[in-house]
Structure 1
Amino acid sequence: MNYVIRAAKPGDLQSIYEMAKLTGGGFTNLPPDKKALSAKLERTEASFASDKEYPSDELYLLVLEDTDSGEVRGTCQIFGQVGQRWPFYSYRIGTDSKHSEQLDRTFHAQVLMLSNDLNGASEVGGLFLHPAARAGGLGLLLARSRYLFIARHRARFGDRILAELRGVIDEAGGSPFWDGVAGKFFGMNFQEADQFNAVHGNQFIADLMPKHPVYIAMLSDHARSVIGVPHPTGRAAMRMLENEGFAFENYVDIFDGGPTMTARTDQVASVRNAKHIEISAIAETGQDALVATGQLADFRCCFGKIGDGATLDSEAAKLLGVGKGGEISWIGR
């Protein structure tokens, strides 16, 4: 089968909705709500059409298409700058130190502090691959295509970039972290809060969340054990992020406690190592690569072979709609 990454279109709504129903909750960027997804696609269409050449409140939603069947089999998203529509909240894990002269003892307590430190960063997220397509490295294609998009549109993204990983969700769809921390202040369970946030944004957090630190030692063992831990299905994604240069710097999601990974945009491996060349010829031999072309709504990315002298294989050339003299960006697979 032949797969290509392309810009999402309004006609992809039903396919994206069907995939959203398979996520199992805790996936804020891909809610199983047609109205919310339709609004995302409208926002995406406007973002691709925008002529802004600076970081802003843009959303670029990309899809993985099986070109043989025309089916959409995956999605991923890039946000130009978070914290523009409403503040971007995280919990930052910090330390509160106390010393007693009488006891001659010092105590260091870990605390969760509500933070807007990451406002202004760009974000990669919303990566989901249909269960029927979880083979052949397609998750890697989805994930790394976002960095080639950033490399080809660098001025539209900030100097810092983040990725939120879904936290631990139990078999009933609940979150031990939510139950142990925020749920006590909102009068709703995790699924209700997660869906509300996905559809309406997180202003309700600013309205109701206590601003004082939360001492981790006072949480239940279950809640403490999942802080900064990714969902089992997100471990591979965490490794891919680490391979790109992202690191966990003590920021966690306020809903499920999942880790937020951060990096300097220009130090992300697939951004830093992207090469921009003009195709000299079509040839079938070369090193395995991810290859991209096109600007904004015309962006396309697929697997291909790059040979000596800047050649590209014919299958990738066909998927990308390019030939000799065409301009592409590529990174080794």
Structure 2
Amino acid sequence: MTFVIRSANADDLQHLYEMAKRTGGGFTNLPPDRKALIAKLERGAAAFARTDDELGDDLFVFVLENTATGEVRGTCQIFSAVGLKWPFYSYRIGALTQHSEELGRTFRADILNLSTDLEGASEVGGLFLHPGERAGGLGMLIARSRYLFIRNHRARFADRCIAELRGVIDEAGGSPFWDGVAGRFFGMNFQDADEFNAKFGNQFIADLMPKHPVYIAMLSEAAKAVIGVPHPSGRAAMRMLEEEGFAWENYIDIFDGGPTMTVRTDQIRSIREAQDDQVVAIDPALGDHKRGDKRLLATGKLAGFRTTYGWVEQREGGIALDPGGAAVLGIEPGMSVTHVARG
């Protein structure tokens, strides 16, 4: 079977809703709320339709489709620039060092500082893959398709890119970090706050959250233990981000304490290593006869953007593709395709 990443549209609402119900909470970019998902799809449609090639407040939503069955089995998103309409808050882990002459001792206290350092960065997020498809490199296909889209629409994205990883959620659906920090100042539990954030944004946090530093030593052991720790289901995603060049620079999510990864956009590995070539042949011998290399292929602009796996072989004047990959992308000889190594 063959899968393709394509732009999401209104017909994908039910598929997205069904996937959203499987996330298990703390997944604010894919809320199990039809109105919120409709708003995302409408915002995405406006972003794909915008013709001026400039950085804006865009959201691009993509889905992973099984081309044989038409089923949607995954999704991902790109925010062109966060914090343009309201502040984008994170906690930055810092330190305060103080010295006592009388005691002859120096004390170092780790603190959480409310920060808007990451405002204006592009964000890759909203990645979800149906549990039945978590094999065969489909997670990598979804994740890296976003970087190829950014590369081929570079003027629409910032020079810094971030990725927020969901933090630790306990068996009851609560967040030890929320309970230890923000939950002390709000009259709602984590599930209610998470749902509100998914629907309306986190401005209420900015309005009500104390602005002074939080001393980590004063938090509960349960809260301290999950600071900067990804949800178990996000560990593979964290490794993929690190392989692309993302790093954790002590920024964490204000809700669940999960790590926020950062990278300079042009240093993302898939962006640096991708290349454009003209297709000079469609060759049925590729792949099945151990010829060529399996690579990520991308073509098209905006709503016409598509990504899949295909077999590529260098030829004089360009590359040859396997018929399957070419068919999924609608590629014919003479057309150009973006490609990058699978591994």
Same fold (TM over 0.5): yes
* Equivalent position to 2:322, from 301, 308, 313: 313
TM-score, normalization by structure 1: 0.99
* CA–CA distance in structure 2, aligned partners of residues 207 and 6 of structure 1: 37
Q: Is 1:154–2:126 an aligned residue pair? A: no
Q: What letter is aligned with 2:306?
A: R
Does the 8 A contact of 1:180 with 1:223 survive in 2?
Answer: yes
* CA–CA distance in structure 2, aligned partners of residues 249 and 5 of structure 1: 30
TM-score, normalization by structure 2: 0.96
Following superposition, the deviation at residue 52 of structure 1 comes to 2.9
Runs of 4+ in 1 over 2 A off after TM superposition: none
Q: Which residue of 1 aligns with 2:292?
A: 286
Following superposition, the deviation at residue 132 of structure 1 comes to 1.4
Q: Is 1:328–2:328 an aligned residue pair? A: no
Following superposition, the deviation at residue 53 of structure 1 comes to 1.7
Does the 8 A contact of 1:52 with 1:156 survive in 2?
Answer: no
Listed as ranges, the matches of 1:225-244 within 5 Å are 225-244=225-244
Could you list the per-position Cα deviations for residues 205-257 of structure 1 after superposition, in whole angstroms to 9, with x for gaps in the alignment? Answer: 11100000000000011100000000000000000000000000000000000
* CA–CA distance in structure 1, aligned partners of residues 186 and 333 of structure 2: 59
- Between the two proteins, the alignment pairs up a number of residues equal to 333
Could you list the per-position Cα deviations for residues 109-148 of structure 1 after superposition, in whole angstroms to 9, with x for gaps in the alignment? Answer: 0000000000000000000001111111100000000001
Could you list the per-position Cα deviations for residues 122-181 of structure 1 after superposition, in whole angstroms to 9, with x for gaps in the alignment? Answer: 000000001111111100000000001111101110000000000000011000000000
Following superposition, the deviation at residue 54 of structure 1 comes to 2.1
Q: 1:69 to 1:61 in 2, by over 3 A?
A: same
> Alignment RMSD, CA only?
0.6
* CA–CA distance in structure 1, aligned partners of residues 334 and 98 of structure 2: 66
What SS does structure 2 have at the residue aligned with 1:301? strand
Q: Is 1:61–2:70 an aligned residue pair? A: no
Q: Is 1:141–2:141 an aligned residue pair? A: yes
Listed as ranges, the matches of 1:215-234 within 5 Å are 215-234=215-234
Q: What letter is aligned with 1:316?
A: G
Q: Which residue of 1 aligns with 2:109?
A: 109
Q: Is 1:303–2:312 an aligned residue pair? A: no
What SS does structure 2 have at the residue aligned with 1:280? strand
Identity of matched residues, %: 67
Q: What letter is aligned with 2:335?
A: G
What SS does structure 1 have at the residue aligned with 2:61? strand
Could you list the per-position Cα deviations for residues 86-131 of structure 1 after superposition, in whole angstroms to 9, with x for gaps in the alignment? Answer: 1111000000111111111111100000000000000000000011
- Unpaired runs of 5+ residues, structure 2, are none
Q: What letter is aligned with 2:307?
A: C
Listed as ranges, the matches of 1:1-333 within 5 Å are 1-283=1-283, 284=286, 285-309=291-315, 310-333=319-342
Following superposition, the deviation at residue 268 of structure 1 comes to 0.3
